[in-house]
Amino acid sequence: MQMCGKNGTYFYMIQDHHCPYTNNCVGGKNIKAFILFCFYGGIFALQFLIMSVVYYYQMSEGVAKKIEEYEVMIWMLLSFFSFFLAFSMNGLAISNIYLAGKNITQI
């Protein structure tokens, strides 16, 4: 039995890494849940990005309601954040799937 250096929890299986987003050690028993968390979080952010681009297109064509200037800035900020989140979380999920398939840890 080993102890994690980040939060002091004990784990029985091989530790892969400590995830600051879930505040938990990722290892043999919960690697599947971590990969699914990253994958679905990235898919959700990608879906939000696509929906916001479609809404912006409809707004520019006159189909959707016009919005104020400050709302456009908020929309652009959220779109940038969702773009960054989608590709970083999906990249993390894909790299963890690859490493789990090769039986390699991130440590």
Which run of H or of E encompasses 61?
helix 31-61
Cα separation of 86 and 3, whole Å? Answer: 32
Cα separation of 28 and 25, whole Å? Answer: 10
Burial group, residue 62, by CB count within 10 angstroms (0-12, 13-18, 19+): exposed
The residues annotated with a catalytic role in the active site are: 19
Burial group, residue 24, by CB count within 10 angstroms (0-12, 13-18, 19+): middle
